[in-house]
Structure 1
């Protein structure tokens, strides 16, 4: 499960220890968090989990839930897997709360300056030529005007989440 916009600067502060307790109180088992940015791997029924977690959080942020199989699929299907291995901070996975429509994909486009976007099933793959902050991709997402929830993780975090789903 991925929380969007947690602990970014001084906004939406949430200690990961508190998140683990909250998730356990909601019936999640085997709760593990990664980093301080709202990444959690749990054992739970995914149906309605995003809504239940979002309602229970002390801050208002979107929550996106992916199964272990979906996390693995996202990593396995990266169109830039070699670049991701060699430059993990330049390749990101954008996790979506729903698939994009054909119209949304068309509005988003695939190339913005030297940065690229590829569309997967409920994910976007983002390849940055330079820093992701201030990238032309940010403007492209704004222009696409979609109501989809998008939360991104760099390649190192994406692969670490997959590893955590395999932990006992």
Structure 2
């Protein structure tokens, strides 16, 4: 009886301690469209579109918009760098698809898809407690209604618009399931 009570107490404490922690969840596996080959390491961006708007972020120290972007990692493909940037900043587990454009600084811009129903239905995204601590805001914006002054200086807005147009073309040309 005492042994059972000790075991129950131990299990309860373990559940309470681990269930209430604010630990960062493990990174999900990199998700790349199955028909595509992984590319060499490179800085990478995920362009996530919903209702003809682009997923963007704001950091605490700025009112500029940023797109989830990752620096090149020797141990992972450009696609996995893009996937990880979205995950760490927004908590969204996207599928990385086609390479749209490569910017002058070798940043690879990919189409990234929200593949689950819940992600597709979210109207306003909140920053997960465990996400990049500098992120203060996540939104979908029309990249043609904003100017270069709305984005961080590092972003090549014409390249983003070009990639966004290309992404929208591929989205509308997909056969219906």
TM-score (norm 2): 0.30
Q: Which is helix-richer, 1 or 2?
A: 1
TM-score (norm 1): 0.31
